[in-house]
A = this chain, B = another copy of it.
Amino acid sequence: MRFVIIGGDAAGMSAASRARRNDPSLEIVVLEQGQDVSYSACNIPYNIADPERTIDDLVVRNAQTFREKLGIDLRTGHRVEQIDRDRKTVRGQTVQGGNFSLRYDALLIATGAKPIQPAIEGVDSPGVFVVKNLEDGRRIKSWLNHRKARRAVIVGMGYIALEMAEALVERGLTVDLIKPRPDLLPWLHPALMQPVRDTLVAKGIGLYDGHPIDRIESQDEALSVISGQLVLPADLVIVAIGVTPNNHLAKAADLALGIGGAIAVDRRLRTSDPAIFAAGDCADSYHLVTGQKTWIPLALRANRAGWAVADNVCGGEVELPGVAGTAVFKVFDMQVARSGLHEAEAKEAGFDPVVVQIKSKSRAGIYPGAQPIYVAMVGDRSSGRLLGAQITGTDQVAHRINAVAVALLAKMSVAEFCQNDLAYAPPFGPTWDPLLTAANQLRKALAQ
């Protein structure tokens, strides 16, 4: 029995390692087109922030460990170009130019996602970067070091854009953020977005949302991002406007695609071909709240899906219930957390959403260091169900969202959520945690 895995990052290497633990005799082959496997992509901005650290610090386990300790046939520099479903064979090219072909009994596509490249003139100029893999990180660090970059423009305002803004400010650069559409984080409740915007402005970051980009000019190693009359000079430009699933192999093999072009998989991670699984950023998943398909490329679900594929390849019947859409990031001292649906998503999914927004304190009001904390919470008027929440603030925000994530898996009503016996001590919150205050108010609003 041969288990072939295309892609050696989170989902792929999680599947390989777990399959080995499940079955010491299974033949496991991983085909990775690059040289890096099993690295922490999420840490790239923090690594870039620190000139003392090398990007290779981000390698969690190197290829040798997988080969020697786990007995996984890990082949880096192997680019798969075709999946022949009839012959259960993958074919491709090595980095040296040789061809290879390999039969599989079970196949996992774990090809991840790739950054979206906008159709902007000059986006391919030297000094314009995306932030996706270690090689991108290496190039950015090298550019920062050798060009003595002083100004950066970041195209995009998603969480990677914001994490990179922080990293570059930490490195002493002046940073501008620009994007065509209005609003810093359009999915965030306006009252929760304002403190994020304030934080960025206080750090001297230029915020140019609602600015369509005409072109990136490059002259004598000096870059400029042009939007109408606005000219933003830069020594480097980061493009971080989102990612799109690497679906070309699946598409060419005529596998069903789902939302956003992600490979469609069932709850057991099977594609439309029962011998082929897909997991990680290239695959879709179910949303716990809507029950519908969604595509949320994040690290935990990639790891979890990799495990589930390994279990199912080894004879298991593991079904994943889906994702709650939980996410958290920080930018400077501001933390932003979400789980479940925001108002517009809830409407789109056919719910009748009611939203409350409250401001409370991160600790007991009279405890030193208490900071404002903002919560928005969404419930469904007809069923009373909790649909989602968002939190922003500078103190003890991130882990608070997990109470909501658990409640969403449990399909709790807002009224039930109000009854949660959450922890209280003055250093950690008011007696009624901000989440309970929001839930109590949402319960009232739902009853009206």
Contacts and interface: CB of A to CB of B under 8 A. Distances in A.
A107 interface: no
A90 B431 CA distance: 31
B366 A43 contact: yes
A368 B167 CA distance: 14
Interface in A395-448: 396, 398-403, 405-410, 412, 416-417, 419-429, 431-433, 435-436
Nearest to A287: B421
A40 B329 CA distance: 33
Contacts of A328: 423-425, 428
B426 A40 contact: yes
A122 to B, nearest CB: 32
Nearest to A308: B419
Interface in A38-64: 40, 42-43, 46-47, 57-58
Interface string A22-43: 0000000000000000001011
A203 B428 CA distance: 22
A371 interface: no
Contacts of A427: 46, 330, 398
A326 interface: yes
A298 interface: yes
Given A367-B46, A400-B399, A402-B399, A422 B303 contact: no
Interface string A330-374: 100001010100000000000000000000000010111000000
B366 A422 contact: no
B421 A288 contact: yes
Nearest to A328: B423
A300 B422 contact: yes
A366 B405 contact: no
Contacts of A364: 40, 42-43
Given A288-B421, A405-B403, A366 B58 contact: yes
Find the residue from A329, A408, A419 having the highest chain B CB count within 10 A. Answer: A419
Find the residue from A335, A366, A416, A421 having the highest chain B CB count within 10 A. Answer: A421
B399 A46 contact: no
Given A399-B396, A407-B410, A410-B410, A424 B320 contact: no
A326 B323 CA distance: 26
A403 B298 CA distance: 20
A321 interface: yes
A301 interface: yes
Contact of A402 (B299, B324, B337, B420): B420
A233 interface: no
Given A320-B419, A424-B42, A407 B405 contact: no
Interface of A: 10, 40, 42-43, 46-47, 57-58, 288, 298-301, 303-304, 320-330, 335, 337, 339, 364, 366-368, 396, 398-403, 405-410, 412, 416-417, 419-429, 431-433, 435-436
